[in-house]
Structure 1
Amino acid sequence: MKIIDAHLHFATDAYFDEIAKAAEHENSADHLLEQYRMRGMVHGIVMGNLPVEELEPAYPPFLSYCIGLDSQVFDMAKLPQKLHLIEQHLRSERCVGIKLYPGYASFYLYDDRLTPIYELAARYKKPVAVHTGLTATDKALLKYSHPLVMDEAATKFREVQFVMCHFGEPWFTDAAAVIEKNPNVAADLSGLLERKIPDFAAFCEKKHFYIERLKGWLEYLDLYDRFMFGTDWPLANLGDYIAFTKEIIPEEHWQEVFYENAVRIYHLKPESMLAVR
């Protein structure tokens, strides 16, 4: 089975080195390629954290990217002056979407300032991926990253394909309601694990409440054509994440969730894929 990682991060710095080590990985392009080939993973989509001025980010060739409006490198107040750069990214085949970080940058998805972003996304037919749910730092504000906030944006901009990153974890009930109501909202299942899990069976037993409710809302929706596999690399061990996703997704939908949905939603090209050995 071919697998696409629809949500990862890629950077060479000490922070990523440490979290990769905790997941029993090495934060390097060579190691990532080795792991991809070992597990039948043929492509990945980087959620960008680089300045928009870097028009040709140095990601490995087996990775596409979403241009990220990360508050650490992007000032929303300067959006009008940066739109031409964002558009240049979207013209590239390697740039397959836009990534927003509302919880970290303290804005609501339906903020009128974002209208030009959504207009560009619609024009170039590229999705807008959004961090939803819990944040990696306690300085971020959850009111901006709650999945219900996506409802108003998705209703106002029906021509835009939204991707609810992390399925709004842990607000699965609210996330499911937004997806059920809005046909232009999909989700990835990244960011639900971290580190290496030493005993997967024991982990599933210990996290029974969490897993059963996650599976329950996925079954309730029964919209497996709108969910994508993602790892949030280097946060979690890749083998664990594949096993976890197989645990929460019925086997008859693995092909969709692990591969087909990402190809369709992000308009991926066969020539960008790694060959499966």
Structure 2
Amino acid sequence: MKIIDAHFHFCDWEKFNEIAVAAGHINSEKHLRQAYADNGIVHGIVMGNKTLSLSDHIYPNFMSYCIGLDSTIFNTKDIAYQVALVEEHLKRKTCVGIKLYPGYNHFYVYEDFLHPFYELARKYSKPVAVHTGLTATSDALLKYSHPLTLDEAAVKYPDVQFVMCHMGNPFLQDAVTVLEKNSNVAADLSGLLEGKIHDFSAFFQKKHGYLQMLDNWLAYLDCYDRIMFGTDWPLANLGDYIIFTKNIIPKEYWDNVFFKNANTIYKLGCK
């Protein structure tokens, strides 16, 4: 089975090195290339965490990327300049979308100042991926990353493809409501695991209630053509994430969730 990792991070930050080790990995291109090969992952989509400079986003041939408006570089006072830089990225074949970090940047995804970015997404027919749900830092604000905020953006821009990163976890009921209502919203399943799982039996027993809820909401949504596999690497172990995902997705939809959906939504052209 071929797999596309629809959401991971590729950055030489020191904190990523530590996170990778905790997940049983090494934060390096060589290690990731081998780990992908070992697990049948043929392509990955980087969620950008660097500057908007074109030279900061040169990736190996098994990667594409979404240009990220990360909290470390995003500046609402200089939108025109940043829009121009983002457009230069979207002109590239390897840049397959835009990534927004509303919880970290303290804005709602439906605010008017984002209109030029959505116009670019429409112009180049590339998705806008949005961090939703729980955040990694305590100074972020959940009211901005709640999945319900995507509803207004999806209605305001019906011809823009949105990707609800992390499926709004742990606000699963609200996330599924937004997905069910808005056909221009897809979701990735990244960020639901952390570290290395050493005993899956114990893990599944401990997390039974959560996993049952996740499984139930996915079954209720019954829209496996808009759900994508993603790992949030280096946060979690790749092999563990595949096992985890197989346990919440019915086997008849594995090919969609693990490969076809990301290939279609992000227009990757993977064979």
Q: Indicate whether the TM-score tops 0.5.
A: yes
SS of the residue aligned with 2:79?
helix
1:59, distance to aligned residue in structure 2 (A): 2.0
Q: Which runs of 5+ in 1 are unaligned?
A: none
Mapped pair 1:32 → 2:32: yes
Distance 2:77 2:147 in 1: 24
Counterpart CA distance in 1 for 2:82 and 2:138 is 28
* Offset from partner CA, 1:102-142 (integer Å, 9 cap, x none): 00000001000000100100110000000000000011000
**SS at the partner of 1:66?**
strand
Matches within 5 A, 1:70-219: 70-219=70-219
Aligned residue pairs total 271
Q: Does 1:261 align with 2:261?
A: yes
3-state SS, counterpart of residue 118 of structure 1: helix
Secondary structure of 1:225's aligned partner: coil
3-state DSSP class of the match of 1:224?
Answer: coil
Q: What is the CA–CA distance in structure 2 between the aligned matches of 1:250 and 1:256, rounded to whole Å?
A: 11
1:63 partner amino acid:
M
Cα distance, 1:8 vs. partner? 0.1
Report Cα offsets for 1:147-195 as digits up to 9, x if no partner.
0000000000001000000000000000000000000000000000000
Q: Distance in 2 between matches of 1:119 and 1:211?
A: 38
Matched position secondary structure for 2:134: coil
Q: C-alpha separation between the residues in 2 aligned to 1:229 and 1:201?
A: 22
Partner AA of 1:156 in structure 2: K
Equivalent residues of 1:133, 1:171 under 8 A apart: yes
Q: Secondary structure of 2:137's match? A: coil
The alignment partner of 2:225 has SS state of: helix
CA distance in 2, matches of 1:160, 1:171: 23
Cα distance, 1:82 vs. partner?
1.8
1:13: how far off? 2.4
**RMSD between aligned alpha carbons?**
0.9
What amino acid is the match of 2:260? E
- Aligned residue in 1 for 2:238: 238
Secondary structure of the 1:27 match is coil
User: TM-score, normalization: structure 2?
Assistant: 0.98
* Separation in 1, partners of 2:109, 2:19: 29
C-alpha distance after superposition, 1:214-259 (max 9, x if no partner):
0000000000000000000000000100000000000000000000
Higher mean Cα deviation, 140-149 or 49-58? 49-58
- Note if contact 2:196-2:236 (Cα within 8 Å) is conserved in structure 1: yes
Cα drift, residue 55 of structure 1: 4.6
After TM superposition, give the deviation of residue 39 of structure 1 in Å.
Answer: 0.9
Quick one: which amino acid aligns to residue 146 of structure 1?
H
CA contact (8 A) 1:179 1:186 kept: yes
C-alpha separation in 1, matches of 2:82 and 2:177: 34
Superimposed CA distance per residue, residues 32-88 of structure 1 (whole angstroms, 9 cap, x where no aligned partner): 010111111000000001111235613222110000001111212211122111101
Distance in 2, matches of 1:33 and 1:71, equals: 28
Measured in 2, the distance between the counterparts of 1:256 and 1:220 equals: 17
Amino acid at match of 2:121: A
- Any gaps of 5 or more consecutive residues in structure 2? none
